[in-house]
Amino acid sequence: MPPIMDLPKIKKTIRIFAVAQGALIALLIFMAVLFQQRLQLLGRGEQFMSGVVAAFVIELLLFYPIFRFAGKEAERDFSLIGRTLNQEELKSFTKQKRWADVIKMAVFGFYFIFILALKPTTPTLVLSVIYYSFVLTIITYLQCYNFAARKRSKGLGNA
């Protein structure tokens, strides 16, 4: 059985995550402008910065758990470089990967259900905070994974 993970594959993942971050940042800026315009039309333009600050505070609260989670995922990926796994190790790896995917989908699902549960009359400020924190959570995960993977890559001397 060929190795599951190799350094070029991890570097490719880092590049893909970097492109995704760029797209998400562009989307975040675009939506921030739309939310700001909407709040100004409603005569509540001063609430825009309140929404940005609230999303930033939420992201600060979520940063450490995201950082640890992404670091563990990068460590798991690097632990597989150049190894061929026996049946038991492959089963363990698959289980770890599955749980990580379940956690990511649960977070995504939480935000998705939360947004769907909002009524059409929900204030724009609340919707903007939810949206900002959702996109910032994804960006934070991608950035933390890239940071941990690059750090680990440099530790191997393969920067």
Written as tens digits, the pLDDT of the chain (159 aa) is 455 566 788 889 899 999 999 999 999 999 999 999 998 998 888 899 999 999 999 999 999 999 999 999 999 888 877 777 788 888 888 898 899 999 999 999 999 998 888 887 788 888 899 999 999 999 999 999 999 999 988 876 654
How far are the Cα atoms of 19, 20, 35 from residue 142, in angstroms, in the given order?
Answer: 10, 8, 24
The domain segmentation of the chain, as residue ranges, is 7-153
Question: What gap in Å lies between CA 14 and CA 147, rounded to an integer?
Answer: 9
User: Which DSSP symbol is given to 81?
Assistant: B
Q: What tokens does 104 get?
A: 């990511």
User: Which residue's structure tokens are 């930033």?
Assistant: 56
Beta bridge partners of 81: 5
Would you say the pTM of this structure is higher than 0.75? Answer: yes
Closest to 143 measured CA to CA, from 7, 14, 10, 39? 14
